[in-house]
Structure 1
Amino acid sequence: MEKVAVIGAGSWGTALSIVLADNDHEVRLWTHRIEQAEEINNVHRNEKYLKNVEIPKQIRAYHDLSEAVDGVSAVIVVVPTKAIRDVSKQLQAVLKQKVTIIHATKGIEPLTLKRVSQLIAEEMEQYTEEEIVVLSGPSHAEEVALRQPTTVTVSSKDAKNASYAQDLFINDAFRVYTSPDILGIELGGALKNIIALGAGISDGLGYGDNAKAALITRGLAEIARLGTSLGANPLSFLGLPGVGDLIVTCTSVHSRNWRAGNLLGKGYKLDDVLEQMGMAVEGVRTVKAAYQFAEEQDVEMPITKGIYQILFEEENPKKVVEQLMSRTKREEMDDLAALLNERYTQ
């Protein structure tokens, strides 16, 4: 049995806490809202984020971060990307011992274009990027909390840390693989949110399965194109944190990014959508980062560009679809051939 702190009591943090509790670990779930901690401890519920889910009694919620991490062997960071730096600084100040840091946040910081593992390493002086573990894959919190079969990947440049994280989480309902390609795993988990926004927009416009299938497939090509230009293994995008996460996020009403896109497709403005969602929509920030990445890397990402125009330039979604459909003719296999040639001719 391990003593573990989960930092962030949203839907995903709470669901991962349930997995850890099912594995007989002592789980400390930290939230910055004292009333949320009281709800979890007193009635064993977290109704805002996971309705009608009973939280195991061995999960103890904390409002004081120093108490939450005291004596733990691992810290699981599950907060929105925009909060990563601040939370990491707080952890730097209160952690008295070296622990394994695992994050389960899917995003990229705009402007700096840094991945979450890089942000944590920058703010926590005693850790290097190579030591940090990422957990990613097709995993709706609502289903994980109900112990429905789920499979994810953990990745770190430190194989020992990745193996430790695998052992920490794996059970009969939550299968965990390992991968050494942390770059590809983080990028796949972040960039798929862009395509999920697009899938929601497509559904909001009333388009059918043909349009969404095309969007997912060509979206995967964009993700792999950008990821490999940055040094990721292209095969990572064909795995769980790539195509697996892309499928589940683009096709389910559980997906915040799909729901946000759906509202945009129905004509709502971005500010109204974000207010109505009431929770972080990581894809919105990631669109900014990916658009900037594509410009700097000179990588063609027409879907990402179109979604950027809808979000931040108030372009009409139907007009963007028309532009995508009228692009210059090309050979579909060019993208895959280029990616594989780059990988296997080096």
Structure 2
Amino acid sequence: MSDKVTVLVAGSWGTALASVLAANHAEVQLWTRNSEQAAEINALHTNEHYLPGIKLPANLFATTDMETAVDGSKAVVIVAPSSAMRQVARSLKPFWKDDMLCIHATKGFETETMKRMSTVISEELGCREGQVVVLSGPSHAEEVVRLCPTTVVVASPEDKLAAAAQELFINNDFRVYTNRDQVGVELAGALKNIIALGAGLSDGLGFGDNAKAALLTRGLAEISRVGVELGANPLTFAGLAGIGDLVVTATSQHSRNWRAGSLLGQGKPLPEVLESMGMVVEGIRTTEAAYAISLKLGVQMPITDQIYHVLFKGRTPRSAVEALMGRDRKTEMENISQETWEQWHS
């Protein structure tokens, strides 16, 4: 079998994962729509807009031609923004072969349909949803390309596919665990971006560590609540894709979601924040989708609700915090059925 692997597309995370793969495989093709970006990667081995100051491996090549990128590859890793995922998967379809390993590493929802990325990809490729392995976990692109120790999880209900994805990526700098809970891993990766926005808002308001710790803890509770309702294993949210990714995204200045929230907390309007970021902030689209999901399921997501109103309804960050602090008295432990309790402890 060919030792070629393909990554779609050449943003910061896609480029970082392509760099990891280039340490393990003879050839890595990185697909982009931007011909100038492709020329820069091939001639200079850099991707300055997304990863300034980083030298990319010599066996990592870029192309704007999907057929060239995919032809002969044993695996395709899709790292498109959630808003572009369906179109990228549709463009891949004519060159897709069923024996290719398919992995995606995008943390978000399709806002219009509230569908997870594995669902979107499987619909477009005409494959089983479990055939699309999910890669997630605490992993800043800026640290991955500098070979900082990083640990992630790959998830599929089909053990052989998860193991194949693990084998594809794992090396001394990039440790990979497997998980059967595709739904939980995918939901955790998407929903934690909302809480990271909230953590940024809190820091932008100058509220300190006590407030942020509470926000992360209660944020994990509502992520778990909606996740279990959608069929996830609650233990997934205590793992790498859950609390691991939540901590790194909500506490680091590498995090676009934290930075966007911080600017909003300082009083910057959303259009100005997005313009200054220069990259996709997945948490904003995810907030819109998660708010709709919570209404559809009748599941309480109070932090998501307040952030939604800050982003889309003109509520001020300070009034959103006041609304959260003024909620009715609650017990910390969620009300769960005996059947669910027994399932968790079986």
Gaps of at least 5 residues in structure 2 are none
TM-score normalised over the length of structure 2: 0.96
* Other structure's SS at 1:55 match: coil
- Residue 112 (structure 1) aligns with: 113
Q: Please identify runs of 4+ aligned residues in structure 1 that moved more than 4 A.
A: 335-340
Structure 1 segment 1-346 matched on structure 2, within 5 A:
2-95=3-96, 98-125=99-126, 127-334=127-334, 341=341, 343-344=343-344
Shift of 1:111: 3.1
Distance 1:339 1:204 in 2: 42
CA distance 1:335–1:42, shift in 2 (3 Å): farther
Q: Is the 8 A contact 1:70 1:96 kept in 2?
A: no
Distance 2:82 2:158 in 1: 23
Equivalences, count: 345
Distance 1:97 1:63 in 2: 23
Structure 1 vs Structure 2: percent identity of aligned residues? 56
* Other structure's SS at 1:328 match: coil
Give the letter aligned to residue 264 of structure 2: L
Give the letter aligned to residue 148 of structure 1: C
Distance 1:148 1:323 in 2: 40
* Other structure's SS at 1:334 match: coil
Distance 2:289 2:97 in 1: 34
Q: Is the 8 A contact 2:204 2:264 kept in 1?
A: yes
Shift of 1:329: 1.2
Give the letter aligned to residue 118 of structure 1: T
Shift of 1:272: 1.4
Shift of 1:335: 5.5
Shift of 1:97: 6.0
Distance 1:124 1:292 in 2: 26
Distance 2:244 2:339 in 1: 19
CA distance 1:195–1:206, shift in 2 (3 Å): same
Shift of 1:338: 8.1
* Other structure's SS at 1:232 match: coil
Greater Cα shift, 155-164 or 91-100: 91-100
TM-score normalised over the length of structure 1: 0.96
Q: Is the 8 A contact 1:225 1:339 kept in 2?
A: no
Shift of 1:83: 0.6
Shift of 1:173: 0.8
* Other structure's SS at 1:85 match: helix
Distance 2:142 2:25 in 1: 21
CA distance 1:257–1:163, shift in 2 (3 Å): same
CA distance 1:41–1:134, shift in 2 (3 Å): same
* Other structure's SS at 1:333 match: coil
Give the letter aligned to residue 202 of structure 1: S
- Superposed CA RMSD: 1.6
Q: Is the 8 A contact 2:234 2:344 kept in 1?
A: no
Gaps of at least 5 residues in structure 1 are none
